[in-house]
Amino acid sequence: MNTVAEMIKPIPGPFFTVLIGYFVLMAVIGYVSARQTNNLKDFFVMSGKAGAIVAGFAYFSTQYSMSTFMGVPASCYKAGFSGLSISVPGVAFSIILPAIFVGRKLMQLGHKNGFLTLADYIADRYESKGLRTMQALLMILFLIPMMGAQTIGAGLILRTYTGLPEWVGIVAMGIIVIMYCMTGGIRGAMLTDVIQGGLMVATAIVTFVVSVKLGGGMEAITSKLAQMNPEYLTHPGVGKLYGYRNYVSQILLWSFFSIGQPALCTKFFTMKNHRVLFKAVILGSLGMCFAATLIEWSGTNAIVSIAGLKGKDIDFVVPLILQRAVSPVISSLLIAGIMAAGMSSIDSYLISSTGAITRDIYQSIINPQATDKDVLRLSRWVTVIVGCIAIFFGVSRPAAIFDIILFSYGGLGIWATPMLWGIYWKGATKLGAYAGVLVGEAVYLYITLAAKQLAFGFHPLIPAWIVSMAAMWIVSLVTPKLSKETIARHFAA
């Protein structure tokens, strides 16, 4: 049986030409953005002036990552159509639910109070610099591995398509993202996200069309899948991979628990007004659902046309489809779309991590006298340092891409507790928030690392979050309430 290395034919010439052109375009956008980034508010939230197209594309581009175009189609390749029944509704609601539950309020409070980071909201709502620091530190702890995981995918693609060492792709992607984020801040990240999001949609469309062609048409594909194994066409799929516990877990993880993700929630601070929010939600949701459906369906279609992939080789099902069905130049361009999925996630994580260090820790805790100009200058250097740490993490590659992302995403998801209680319950207190986060994170880590049976087949974040919500509620009932001024500020009509 052939391996991926034997099945994919290296095309270094077209690949490098397309990739260098793409990277140059990203760098130019970063340069232009830098000329429009004059202050700290510009750097972190685009001064709250993002329109619907930029905001919508930026949100769904951040939510999409390298795993969306490699790991998730691979899951559909293994299980069949049941994979679509989980991931598609998960991504379809990943902007709708956060927008409904917290988005409108965050945007309103952000404009009114000048919030630049999610920790700004947390600190103000709970009158606590300690919570600000804890949120910032945990965010850095979980976001750096997520950034590193995205660069690993770039390294794998570069090695496969050119034969160069994996670290070359990791370093190259990391440097380009650092450059446009360091110069243009969130403006550079969000404007490049529009290009990257469009490229991702194009990649999904072309991959689906050619996957159908390779399989001989939809009717032929369905017939062959039924002959190979009827479970490809039913739920919960081959090997019962997507039973109801995993079904519920995956949908909640990628939709509802987006509420706790700083890189996603801060997008609401960038939006101009409620009308922009509404349009961005519609645009982002349609983009995510459309692209996710097609790219994951392609993974299922490939079962009959690219048979026999096993183990880690399954992650390359989309590159294999493209290389077999389109020209080297088009294939290289669309492979850049997969790398765009990683870059569009890294840039938002990088800006959020920078904000945690310079805004939430340095300016708010260490040196309150620091001016915004000082922090802006420092932010550019911190962006470089954090980006280099993420590159080092990617080169060291401590675990599989999807495993790293899944663990880190779950760790940040606990912050949905103080977010929801803070927005909907006037009685939520500072000590209650401490209890909710600390207990929730402790339970999450314990179940993940030592007692998976306590999750009862669900993702560890779900039972951990339930315990977290209960802990915050109980502690808030018996601890001192916040000032009337804070409550009035956050619950004004």
Any idea what the CATH number is for the domain that residue 88 is in?
A: 1.20.1730.10
55 with 81, same domain: the answer is yes
Phi–psi pair at 116, nearest 5 degrees = -110, -20
pLDDT number for residue 87: 63
- CA–CA separation, 299 vs 306, rounded Å? 10
291 with 328, same domain: the answer is yes
178 with 284, same domain: the answer is yes
- CA–CA separation, 33 vs 46, rounded Å? 10
> How many Cβ atoms from other residues are within 10 Å of residue 408's Cβ?
21
Q: Is the pLDDT confidence value at 4 over 80?
A: no
Higher pLDDT among residues 457 and 47, named by residue: 457
360 with 485, same domain: the answer is no
Structure tokens at 28: 């130019």
Is the CB of residue 263 less than 8 Å from the CB of residue 405?
no
Is the CB of residue 261 less than 8 Å from the CB of residue 412?
yes
- How far is CA 293 from each of CA 76, 89, 131, 144, 353, rounded to the nearest angstrom? 11, 9, 39, 29, 31
The answer to whether position 157 is within a domain reads: yes
Is the CB of residue 340 less than 8 Å from the CB of residue 322?
no
H/E segment holding residue 8 = none
DSSP code string of 213-230 = HHHT-HHHHHHHHHHH-G
pLDDT number for residue 398: 64
pLDDT number for residue 58: 78
Mean pLDDT of the region 62-67: 70
377 with 445, same domain: the answer is no
The answer to whether position 82 is within a domain reads: yes
241 with 388, same domain: the answer is yes
The answer to whether position 427 is within a domain reads: yes
Is the CB of residue 376 less than 8 Å from the CB of residue 187?
no
Pick the last residue of a domain from 365, 399, 433: 399
Is the CB of residue 412 less than 8 Å from the CB of residue 119?
no
- CA–CA separation, 274 vs 458, rounded Å? 35
The answer to whether position 48 is within a domain reads: yes
327 with 422, same domain: the answer is no
Q: Which domain holds residue 70?
A: 4-399
pTM for the complete prediction?
Answer: 0.83
Helix (H), strand (E), coil (C) string for 17-46:
HHHHHHHHHHHHHHHHHHHCCCCHHHHHHH
- How far is CA 482 from each of CA 127, 175, 200, rounded to the nearest angstrom? 7, 44, 45
User: One-letter amino acid identity for 350?
Assistant: L
Mean pLDDT of the region 165-194: 78
205 with 260, same domain: the answer is yes
Q: Which of 91-100, 215-224, 447-456 has the lowest mean pLDDT?
A: 91-100
Residue with tokens 């390749």: 77
Is the CB of residue 186 less than 8 Å from the CB of residue 44?
yes
395 with 420, same domain: the answer is no
Pick the last residue of a domain from 372, 399, 426: 399
Q: Is the pLDDT confidence value at 173 over 90?
A: no
pLDDT number for residue 10: 61
Mean pLDDT of the region 352-367: 85
> How many Cβ atoms from other residues are within 10 Å of residue 150's Cβ?
29
Ramachandran quadrant class, 165 (left: phi over 0; alpha: psi -120 to 50; beta: rest): beta
pLDDT > 70 fraction of the chain, expressed in percent and rounded: 93
The answer to whether position 133 is within a domain reads: yes
The answer to whether position 217 is within a domain reads: yes
pLDDT number for residue 198: 82
> How many Cβ atoms from other residues are within 10 Å of residue 4's Cβ?
19
Pick the last residue of a domain from 344, 367, 399: 399
280 with 395, same domain: the answer is yes
Q: Mean pLDDT across the chain, nearest whole number? A: 83
Is the CB of residue 379 less than 8 Å from the CB of residue 41?
no
Is the CB of residue 293 less than 8 Å from the CB of residue 92?
no
46-72 b/e (C-beta count within 10 Å ≥ 16 → b)? bbbebebebbbbbbbbbbbbbbbbbbb
The answer to whether position 148 is within a domain reads: yes
pLDDT band (50, 70, 90) for residue 469 = very high
Q: Tell me the pLDDT tens digit for each residue of 240-266.
A: 777 778 788 878 887 888 888 887 788
- CA–CA separation, 20 vs 15, rounded Å? 8
pLDDT band (50, 70, 90) for residue 397 = low
462-493 b/e (C-beta count within 10 Å ≥ 16 → b)? bbbbebbbebbbebbeeeeebeeebeeebeee
Q: Is the pLDDT confidence value at 188 over 90?
A: no
Higher pLDDT among residues 41 and 470, named by residue: 470
388 with 420, same domain: the answer is no
The answer to whether position 409 is within a domain reads: no
Q: Which of 88-97, 162-171, 281-290, 471-480 has the lowest mean pLDDT?
A: 88-97
Count of domains forming the chain: 2
263 with 205, same domain: the answer is yes
